[in-house]
Amino acid sequence: MEGAIYADVQSSTIPEELKAIYIMANATELMSAQAFERLKHVFRKHGYIINENQLLTGITQYCKMIKMASYQFFQKVEPQIMNATFFAGRYEDDTTGNVSAYDGFNEDSCEICRLVMLYIDRTAKNNDGYAKVFKTLRQLPPGGIFNDEDISKYKMK
């Protein structure tokens, strides 16, 4: 029975959707860390130390939550990413790892960050913008990773 389940999962787009989740989680962690560092820099520039200033309780709580989320990411998600990229197919005596797979994964994550930021920047105040973006993307040839049914389930009606 487990073999049949595994075969059904492997013959579907579920593994690719899970990979997309890991890429988005990695992208979220990356953007979160960048935003957190930028925020801390601004407060330090103005003489505030976030953890010691009671007036900044909201920021302090935010910072604590970011640290907790980062901890969970690095404890639970990042090892999965490493096993699927850097350590994939590695033998015990191999100390080099699959650097290109790991770098490719991180490149995909950075692309997601750039895409989301560019998309928001270009479409947030332009109701026609998102339609142009989707029309352009649909004109590209399919990559065979996801089918239209997979993609359309994320469209709000």
Handedness of CA 106, 108, 111, 116 (dihedral sign): negative
| CB-count burial class (<10 Å; 0-12, 13-18, 19+) for 110 | middle
Separation CA 88–CA 84 (nearest Å): 5
Give the pair of three-digit tokens for residue 25.
């989680």
Give the pair of three-digit tokens for residue 115.
């895409």
Answer yes or no: pTM beyond 0.75.
no
pLDDT of residue 154: 81
pLDDT of residue 110: 92
pLDDT of residue 132: 92
Q: Closest Cα to residue 84, out of 7, 155, 21?
A: 21
